[in-house]
Chains A and B, each alone.
Chain A
């Protein structure tokens, strides 16, 4: 492993940056919603307070394979998110953990899969309902997500992450970015796609039985998901070239703009039913599918 790989994993955009940034984005989202509802909203350190407090709770002792699995799922989510963040080509210099978009997609998909498995492992009826909802939603939005990435890959003619990143003026690239942006609310379980973790209807779904440190890990994974998903879009839109500090600042600023955008959508919408969410995504999937096919044909005849 090279030195810049370690820097990417531990310093920037890895653990040292991503954990506080995740908390900051979660704060930003809740604060923005509060301000839009004319409330004052939560203090800046609230996500940190919640995290530490959860670490101090005494949880019921469970035994056997189920207990280990329940602890494994949030840990796996955190690790896969850290992997995804370390892979992001923030500086567009080809250093760090270079990989291709397929690996990144696999990493980004892990929290959702772990979320589903956690619901089934917990044995709670609400957990299972939430897990089923998440599974269906995940199928619906992943179709759009994957097609968006394929759209970008086809227009750039590569799957290498460092070549995909950096905004180009290709229309296919921007349609792909738009498609990815459409999927982020569902991946983060924000309104209007929050059916799988609905607090009022199914008692937080798969996380119903979680408490204490394991729940804190889920919160952490959620914060890291914010960083990874908005960061992925940022690397796709910020043009390559320029000094490293420009990219570092742009990574933070552009991601935060997306956080504000997503919170506006979350504050302005109510929770969709599952059917409506699926219909929404599959309509976009159809449009994107047509575009991918057209651009592939165009690339071939060119």
Chain B
């Protein structure tokens, strides 16, 4: 890695912007994610910032078991997040459909539709676990940027 790549690697790891997408979750996981921003957990220390628009984001945090209504939204929002990007599945719902498995309106699990990089299991997961998941996602993001450049993926 040359100096510029090292700088970019560090900056990507230190500045993950999140976009939170609810695909029909019971709101348990959403509340736990928002808890991470509160004074008790204070994820701003890690440079984590919850963004309003998927275009600004690096990490897509998805909660919920992917209902039929939200499937198109998941694909659209995933496409709107600019590369390099990482997907974090929060809770047991996106991983396995959890208690909603077998329902005719559920299209999950999430990995059937978009690639998932980090799973944070739990129903709902503890905020500490969520923070660890996001920190790991930030590391993956930084490494991915470097490996894509090495593979010759066009950078523009």
Contacts and interface: CB of A to CB of B under 8 A. Distances in A.
Given A57-B83, A58-B83, A43 B56 contact: no
Contact of A52 (B8, B58, B83): B8
Given A57-B83, A211-B82, A43 B14 contact: yes
B49 to A, nearest CB: 8
Interface string B14-36: 11010000000000000000000
A41 B42 contact: yes
A28 to B, nearest CB: 14
A34 B52 contact: no
Contact of B14 (A39, A41, A49, A57): A49
Contact of B45 (A42, A53, A126, A203): A42
Interface in A187-232: 198-200, 202-204, 207-212, 215
B47 A34 contact: no
B55 to A, nearest CB: 4
B18 to A, nearest CB: 12
Contacts of B53: 126, 203-204, 207-209
B117 interface: no
Interface residues of A, number: 36
Nearest to A39: B42
A215 B45 contact: no
B7 interface: yes
Contacts of A50: 11, 15, 17, 47, 49
Nearest to A210: B55
Given A53-B15, A203-B53, A58 B82 contact: yes
A39 B82 contact: no
A301 B55 CA distance: 60
Interface in A5-63: 30, 34, 37-43, 45-46, 48-50, 52-53, 56-61
Contacts of A215: 55-56
Contact of B56 (A38, A56, A61, A210): A210
B9 to A, nearest CB: 9
A204 B56 contact: yes
B84 interface: yes
Contact of A208 (B11, B14, B55, B83): B55
Contacts of A211: 55-56, 82
Contact of B51 (A40, A59, A199): A199
Interface in B54-75: 55-56, 58
Interface of A: 30, 34, 37-43, 45-46, 48-50, 52-53, 56-61, 126, 198-200, 202-204, 207-212, 215
Given A50-B17, A58-B156, A203-B53, 18 more contacts: A38-B39, A39-B44, A40-B42, A40-B44, A43-B45, A49-B10, A49-B14, A49-B47, A53-B8, A56-B8, A58-B155, A59-B156, A60-B82, A61-B156, A199-B51, A202-B52, A204-B53, A208-B55
- A-B pairs, top 7 by smallest CB distance, nearest first, are A199-B52, A52-B11, A49-B15, A39-B42, A204-B52, A211-B55, A203-B52
Interface of B: 7-8, 10-12, 14-15, 17, 39, 42, 44-45, 47, 49-53, 55-56, 58, 82-84, 145, 154-156
